[in-house]
């Protein structure tokens, strides 16, 4: 198949998942065309069967803001027509699904039929809670997609609750390429962070309020008071400066490492003993899955899609949002005893195997075939 993938090419979970999906499809001899405004972070354009089409915007005096959705629509029409794509797979309802719908209609007028699949990742759905003006476009885009998927049962439930959806939503969870996260012994790197063999606690996110990084710091403070530890924070965003100040206020700054955005997190995860994800909202929790794949137990909250990923008491622990005391207690339970820690490590890897790309890719291929079989003629 010739597949067009439309995505946000950033460090966020949806962009990484869409990129890895395209790479996996290319290895199975599908021709994959990435269509977005800049090259995705983890994309190697020299890979066989992979193509990249940049959506170029230009400043025009008439527009205060560049009309990206219209530019994207025109690019989709161009790529579908001249690369003879079979289908489009768009990640996020807006603006990608709405642009795909417009492109579909334009192409239909030219006698070209192109189905599009919309995958919901979360932010496109929770966004409406902050700005209801998006609701009509999101509802329309979802209902007029040929097929709709969501990355968790929880996200599907939220979508059906927030919008008047008449379309079936199929759940296909996020995934990782397990081979990319094999546990490796990197003592040299570990000693750079933990010179005295301290425990290493890690958190990875986009540093937004919803990630509740203050709870990461407060939980770490309690852990460190009982077991000598170091904290690694990977990522960047609007809360970073505030969290740096809080680390100093809590008196833990000398044991906290702010690393910023990293192209690859597996090196950090491979030296970590525990991962903390105390988000108030998480549609899936891709960072937690990456941690599990590296054999790192997860301390997280019991909301959103996280309970579908982390098995409470087996591969980690789940607590109510903001319950720092319980999260700290659970972290110390895992870290205080070597055999207990090893049991959680083993369970983490075992759990991650269920989300390996080898298990998930056939689900998407079936969806693609279904879209082609049910797509109406132009």
Residues 203 and 143 in one domain: no
Q: φ, ψ for residue 156 (rounded to 5)?
A: -60, -45
Residues 341 and 211 in one domain: yes
Angle in degrees, CA 227, 232, 233, rounded to 5 = 135
Residues 325 and 275 in one domain: yes
| Tokens standing for residue 73 | 């629509």
Domain residues for the domain of 24 are 2-175+357-374
User: What whole-number percentage of the chain has pLDDT above 90?
Assistant: 71
Residues 117 and 192 in one domain: no
pLDDT at 233: 96
Average pLDDT of the chain, as a whole number = 91
Does residue 11 have a pLDDT over 70? no
| CB 100, CB 76: distance < 8 Å | yes
Residues 14 and 121 in one domain: yes
- pLDDT mean over 196-206: 94
User: Cα(187)–Cα(194) distance, rounded to whole angstroms?
Assistant: 10
Residues 326 and 368 in one domain: no
281-328 pLDDT per residue, tens: 888 989 999 999 999 999 999 998 999 999 999 999 999 999 999 999
- pLDDT mean over 11-30: 87
Residues 138 and 156 in one domain: yes
Residues 279 and 171 in one domain: no
Q: How confident is the model at residue 128 (pLDDT cuts 50, 70, 90)?
A: low
The β-bridge partners of 15 are: none
202 by DSSP, 3-state: which?
A: strand
Total number of domains in the chain: 2
151-171 pLDDT per residue, tens: 999 999 999 988 999 999 999
Q: How confident is the model at residue 68 (pLDDT cuts 50, 70, 90)?
A: confident
In terms of Cβ atoms closer than 10 Å to its own Cβ (0-12, 13-18, 19+), residue 323 is middle
- pLDDT mean over 105-121: 95
Q: How confident is the model at residue 187 (pLDDT cuts 50, 70, 90)?
A: confident
pLDDT at 131: 73
pTM (predicted TM-score):
0.89
pLDDT at 189: 85
Does residue 134 have a pLDDT over 90? no
Does residue 42 have a pLDDT over 80? no
Does residue 94 have a pLDDT over 90? no
**Which strands, in side-by-side order, build the sheet including 316-319?**
256-260, 229-234, 199-204, 274-277, 298-301, 316-319
User: Cα(318)–Cα(2) distance, rounded to whole angstroms?
Assistant: 41
pLDDT at 61: 59
- pLDDT mean over 208-236: 96
User: Cα(132)–Cα(192) distance, rounded to whole angstroms?
Assistant: 48
| Tokens standing for residue 371 | 């879209």
- pLDDT mean over 204-218: 94
Residues 70 and 190 in one domain: no
Residues 197 and 342 in one domain: yes
- CATH number, position 321: 3.40.50.2000
Residues 215 and 140 in one domain: no
Residues 264 and 303 in one domain: yes
| CB 31, CB 51: distance < 8 Å | yes
Q: How confident is the model at residue 92 (pLDDT cuts 50, 70, 90)?
A: confident
| CB 107, CB 114: distance < 8 Å | yes
């Amino acid at each position: 198949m010739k597949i067009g993938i439309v995505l946000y090419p950033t460090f966020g979970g949806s962009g990484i998942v869409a990129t890895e999906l395209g790479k996996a499809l290319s290895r199975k001899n599908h021709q994959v065309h990435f269509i977005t405004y800049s090259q995705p972070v983890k994309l190697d354009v020299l890979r066989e069967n992979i193509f990249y089409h940049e959506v170029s915007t230009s400043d025009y005096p008439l527009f205060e803001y560049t009309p990206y959705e219209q530019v994207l629509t025109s690019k989709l029409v161009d790529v579908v027509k001249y690369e003879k794509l079979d289908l489009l797979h768009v990640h996020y309802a807006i603006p990608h699904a709405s642009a795909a719908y417009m492109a579909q209609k334009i192409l239909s007028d030219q006698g070209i039929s192109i189905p599009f699949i919309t995958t919901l990742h979360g932010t496109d759905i929770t966004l409406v809670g902050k700005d209801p003006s998006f609701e009509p476009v999101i509802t329309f885009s979802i209902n007029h997609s040929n097929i709709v998927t969501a990355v968790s049962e929880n996200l599907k439930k939220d979508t059906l609750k927030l919008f008047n959806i008449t379309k079936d939503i199929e759940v296909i969870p996020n995934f990782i390429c397990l081979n990319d996260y094999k546990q490796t012994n990197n003592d040299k790197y570990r000693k750079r962070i933990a010179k005295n063999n301290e425990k290493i606690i890690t958190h990875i996110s986009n540093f937004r309020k919803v990630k509740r990084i203050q709870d990461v710091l407060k939980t770490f403070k309690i852990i460190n008071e009982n077991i000598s530890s170091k904290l690694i924070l990977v990522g960047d965003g609007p809360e970073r400066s505030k969290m740096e100040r809080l680390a100093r206020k809590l008196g833990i700054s000398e044991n906290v490492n702010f690393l910023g955005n990293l192209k690859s997190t597996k090196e950090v995860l491979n030296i970590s003993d525990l991962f903390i994800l105390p988000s108030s909202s998480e549609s899936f929790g891709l960072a937690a899955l990456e941690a599990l794949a590296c054999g790192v137990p997860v301390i997280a909250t019991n909301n959103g899609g996280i309970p579908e990923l982390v098995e409470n008491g087996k591969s980690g622990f789940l607590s109510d949002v903001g319950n720092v005391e319980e999260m700290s207690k659970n972290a110390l339970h895992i870290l205080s005893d070597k055999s207990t820690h090893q049991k959680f490590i083993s369970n983490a890897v075992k759990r991650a195997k269920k989300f390996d790309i080898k298990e998930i890719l056939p689900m998407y291929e079936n969806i693609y075939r279904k879209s082609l079989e049910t797509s109406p003629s132009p």
